[in-house]
């Protein structure tokens, strides 16, 4: 069993989205994570980071901390656990009602798809509020 | 993201080159809105060089589909790669869009 943990802490601003994605791509690719899984993880984290940047800190600038743990056996990594922390207003994104994905284009609401994509792409998504921090944990194996 | 537009009569091709993420989505939204100010009957979105779509990108594509429906035109999404196709499937977009 081997394991590495790396962190990225940065202001929760949309301008930093590229840094977040760059960090994930670099670390995941170094661990030979398949391209498809890298994309699934990046799409998921983008949704969450953008939500934090847009809504977590309505009246002041705040930070977002990503804590990425990669784990595996002797020769290869096969599991990612990513904790995304913010100290903005308390918000559980998992409580959002799932969108009705069977509706026609005309009936569709513009929105609500982001967190649904996260739930569909990851193996596990957990939310907790602890020490005045929102902590969302994404788990994915490959 | 680079967006290339080609026109022929009332048909338009929009080629996406790069990631359709939260930063690029408004850019594509503006291009589509501008192009649809002209009478368009057929809109092709070519995704051969786009391997990444965020939900903000999906919203722009849905908006384009609604706009083209309103003028009784048709829209086709072409050359969708496997990862993007999965995003379309998990969100039910594969039922809404015409994918070739």
- Tell me which residues of chain A have a C-beta less than 8 Å from any C-beta of chain B: 14, 17-18, 21, 35-36, 39-40, 42-43, 46-47, 50, 99, 101-106, 108, 110-111, 113-114, 116-117, 120-121
Searching chain B, which residue's CA lies closest to the CA of residue A98?
Answer: B91
Query: Of the candidates B52, B55, B90, which has its C-beta nearest A47's C-beta?
Result: B55
* Domain residue spans of chain B: 2-96
ipTM: 0.81
- Tell me which residues of chain B have a C-beta less than 8 Å from any C-beta of chain A: 21-23, 51-56, 58-59, 62-63, 65-66, 69, 82-83, 86-87, 90-92, 95-96
Residue A109, pLDDT above cutoff 80: no
Searching chain A, which residue's CA lies closest to the CA of residue B65?
Answer: A105
Summarize pLDDT for A14-35 with one digit per residue, the tens.
999 999 999 999 999 999 999 8
**pTM value?**
0.90
Contact list, B23 vs chain A (CB under 8 Å):
14, 17-18
Residue B29, pLDDT above cutoff 70: yes
Beta carbons of A70 and A3 less than 8 angstroms apart: yes
Confidence category of residue A110, pLDDT binned at 50, 70, 90: low
CB–CB contacts below 8 A, A to B: 66
The residues, ordered by sequence, that sit 6+ positions from B37 with a Cβ below 8 Å of its Cβ are none
Percent of chain A topping pLDDT 70: 99
Residue A50, pLDDT score: 95
What is the phi/psi pair of residue A86, to 5°? -145, 155
For residue B33, the 8-state DSSP code is: H
Summarize pLDDT for A111-140 with one digit per residue, the tens.
678 999 999 999 999 999 999 999 999 999
Which residues lie across from B77 on neighbouring strands?
B45, B99
Contact list, B90 vs chain A (CB under 8 Å):
101, 116-117, 120-121
Report CB contact under 8 Å: B62, A14.
no
Q: Domains in chain A and their CATH numbers?
A: 2-141 (3.30.565.10)
Q: Over range B35-52, report the average pLDDT.
A: 95
Confidence category of residue A92, pLDDT binned at 50, 70, 90: very high
Beta carbons of A45 and A39 less than 8 angstroms apart: no
Residue A42, pLDDT above cutoff 70: yes
d(CA B18, CA B11): 23
Dihedral sign computed on CA atoms, order A12, A17, A18, A21: positive
d(CA B38, CA A99): 33
Summarize pLDDT for A60-80 with one digit per residue, the tens.
999 999 999 999 988 899 999
Helix axes A113-121, B55-70, angle to 10 degrees: 130
Q: Over range B11-23, report the average pLDDT.
A: 96
Q: Which helix (H) or strand (E) holds B83?
A: helix B82-90
CATH number of B2-96: 3.30.750.24
Helix axes B55-70, B24-35, angle to 10 degrees: 10
Residue A57, pLDDT score: 97
């Amino acid at each position: 069993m081997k394991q590495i943990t790396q962190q990225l802490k940065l202001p929760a601003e949309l301008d930093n989205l590229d840094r977040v994605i760059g960090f994930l791509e670099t670390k995941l690719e170094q661990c030979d994570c398949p391209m498809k899984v890298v994309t699934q993880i990046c799409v998921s984290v983008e949704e969450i980071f953008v939500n934090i940047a847009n809504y977590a800190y309505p009246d002041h600038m705040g930070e977002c901390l990503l804590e990425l743990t990669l784990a595996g056996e002797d020769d290869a990594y096969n599991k990612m656990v990513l904790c995304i922390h913010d100290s903005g207003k308390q918000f559980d994104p998992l409580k959002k009602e799932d969108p009705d994905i069977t509706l026609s284009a005309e009936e569709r609401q513009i929105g609500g798809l982001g967190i649904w994509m996260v739930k569909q792409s990851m193996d596990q998504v957990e939310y907790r509020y602890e020490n005045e921090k929102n902590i969302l944990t994404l788990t994915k194996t490959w | 993201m680079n967006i290339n537009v080609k026109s022929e009569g009332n048909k338009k091709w929009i080629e996406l080159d790069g990631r359709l993420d939260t930063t690029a989505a408004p850019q594509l939204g503006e291009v589509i809105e501008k192009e649809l100010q002209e009478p368009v009957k057929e809109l092709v979105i070519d995704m051969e060089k786009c391997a990444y779509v965020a939900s903000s990108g999906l919203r722009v594509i849905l908006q384009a589909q609604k706009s083209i429906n309103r003028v009784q035109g048709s829209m086709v999404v072409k050359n969708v790669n496997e990862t993007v196709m999965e995003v379309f499937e998990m969100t039910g977009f594969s039922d809404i869009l015409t994918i070739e």
